[in-house]
Structure 1
Amino acid sequence: MRHRIYTTTVLTVALLLGSTQLFAWGNEGHKLVAEVAFNYMNESTRKNVMQYLDGMSLEEAGNWMDAIKSDSANDYMKPWHYINIEKGATTPAEGDNIVIILNRILKELDHKETLSQAEIKRRILLLFHLIGDLHQPLHVGYLSDKGGNTVQLNFMGSQGTNLHSTWDSKIIEYKATTLSEVLNSKKYSPEALAAVQKIDVIGWAKQSRGYLKEAYTAGTKVDDRYVDAVYPIIKTQLLDAGIRLASVLEHYFKTA
Structure 2
Amino acid sequence: MGLGTIRSCAAGLIAGMAMVLATLAPVPAMAWGGYGHRTTADIALANVQPSTRAAIARLIAYDAQLGTPECRIRDLEDAAVWPDCVRRDYWRWGYTAAWHYRTAPICEAYNARSNCSGGNCVLGQIERNQRILADETLPANVRLEAMAFLVHFIGDVHMPLHSGDKDDKGGNDRVTSYGDVPGLNLHGIWDSTLAERAITSAQPPLVRAYSAAERAELAGGDAAEWGRESWQLARDVVYPGAFEQNVCDGDLPENAALTQADIEAAIPVSQKRIVQAGLRMARMLDEAFAPGPLAPASSAR
Deviation, 1:128, is: 1.4
CA RMSD in angstroms, aligned pairs only: 2.5
Aligned to 2:128: 104
Q: Distance in 2 between matches of 1:229 and 1:183?
A: 21
Shift of 1:114: 2.4
Q: Deviation at 1:201? A: 1.3
Q: In 2, Cα distance between the equivalents of 1:237 and 1:94?
A: 23
Match of 2:215 among 189, 193, 197: 193
CA contact (8 A) 2:116 2:124 kept: no
- Cα-to-partner distance string for 1:40-98 (whole Å, 9 max, x where unaligned): 11222111112212261333111101111111121100000000112215463353111
| Residue 32 in structure 1 maps to residue 39 in structure 2 | yes
Give the % identical residues.
28
Partners of 1:125 and 1:210 lie apart in 2 by: 27
- Count, aligned residues: 229
1:160 equivalent in structure 2: 183
2:108 counterpart letter in structure 1: G
Find the residue that maps to 2:183 and give its secondary structure.
strand
The runs of at least 4 aligned residues of structure 1 exceeding 4 Å deviation read none
Structure 2 unpaired stretches of 5+: 1-30, 62-72, 244-255, 293-301
| 1:87-126 to 2 correspondences below 5 Å | 87-88=107-108, 90=111, 92-93=114-115, 95=117, 96-110=120-134, 112-126=135-149
Range with greater deviation from structure 2 (235-244 or 192-201):
192-201
Aligned letter for 1:44? S
CA distance in 2, matches of 1:140, 1:176: 21
Structure 1 length normalisation: TM-score? 0.81
Determine the C-alpha separation between the residues in 1 that align with 2:168 and 2:114.
15
Kept after mapping to 1: 8 A contact 2:40/2:274 = yes
Q: Deviations over 1:4-58 (max 9, x none)?
A: xxxxxxxxxxxxxxxxxxxx82310001100000111122211111221226133
- 5 Å-filtered alignment, 1:170-249, equals 170-174=193-197, 177=200, 180-183=204-207, 190=213, 193-194=215-216, 196-198=218-220, 200-212=222-234, 213-216=236-239, 217-219=241-243, 220-249=256-285
Alignment CA distance shift 1:164-1:237 (3 Å): same
Q: Hey, what's the Cα distance between the residues in 1 that align with 2:143 and 2:129?
A: 10
What TM-score results when the alignment is normalised by the length of structure 2? 0.69
- 2:101 pairs, out of 82, 89, 95, with 82
Range with bigger deviation, 29-38 or 198-207: 198-207
SS of match in other structure, 1:33: helix
Provide Cα deviations, 1:138-174, integer angstroms capped at 9, x if missing partner. 1011262111111110122234111100100011334
Q: SS of the counterpart of 2:177?
A: strand
* 2:46 match: secondary structure: helix
| 8 A contact 2:40–2:275 mirrored in 1 | yes
CA contact (8 A) 1:199 1:248 kept: no
Amino acid at match of 1:139: H
CA–CA distance in structure 1, aligned partners of residues 233 and 99 of structure 2 = 21
1:176-232 deviation line (CA, Å, top 9, x unaligned): 626853247xx8772x63253335111111121221120011222123211111110
Secondary structure at 1:211 match in 2: helix
Which residue type is aligned with residue 170 of structure 2? G
Tell which structure's C-alpha radius of gyration is larger.
2
From 151, 161, 174, give the equivalent of 1:128: 151
SS in 2 for 1:168: helix
Is contact 1:84-1:143 (8 Å) kept? no
1:138 matched to 2:157? The reply is no
Q: Distance in 2 between matches of 1:58 and 1:125?
A: 8
Distance 1:37 1:76, change over 3 A: same
Aligned equivalents of 1:199 and 1:115: distance in 2?
Answer: 27
Q: Which has the higher contact order (CA 8 A, sep 6+)?
A: 1
